[in-house]
Amino acid sequence: MSDARTPAQIEADIISRREQLAVVLDEIGVRVHPDTIMGDVKAKAVEALDRTAGRAFVAVNRTVSDVKAQFVAEDGTPRMERVIPAALFAVGVVGLVVASKRRRKG
C-alpha cells in the first residue's frame, strides 16, 4: 500500500484547504469589523445597565417595603405611634426651610 498521492489529489486538497482558509478569513473579517465590535460593546453595556438597574430596583423596593413596615402594621392599619412623630418631624423641617428662605429674602 502506497501513501503517494496523485497530482489530482494534491490539487483537490489544496483547493479544499484554500476554501476552508477563505471561510476562516471571512469569519475573522466579520469579528474584527468595527460595526461588529461596536455591536458587542453596546450589547455588553446594555446587559450591564440592565443588571445594575435590576439590582437598584430590588434594593429600592426592599427599602420602601422596610420603611412601609415601620409605619403600617401587618393588618394594614397605620401605626399612629410612629406616624405622628414622623409627620411632626417633617412639618418641622419644612417650617425651618421656609423660615430660612424668608430670612434670606428679608
Q: At what angle do helices 34-71 and 80-105 cross, to 10 degrees?
A: 110
Per-residue pLDDT at 27: 94
Contacts of 89-93 with C-beta under 8 Å, sequence gap 24+, read none
Helix (H) or strand (E) holding 14: helix 7-31
Per-residue pLDDT at 103: 86
pLDDT in tens, the chain (106 residues): 457 899 999 999 999 999 999 999 999 999 999 999 999 999 999 999 999 999 999 999 999 999 999 999 889 899 999 999 999 999 999 999 999 988 887 6
Per-residue pLDDT at 2: 59
Per-residue pLDDT at 105: 78
Whole-model pTM: value is 0.48
Beta carbons of 92 and 99 less than 8 angstroms apart: no
Quote helix, strand, coil % in the chain, to nearest 5.
85, 0, 15
Per-residue pLDDT at 24: 96
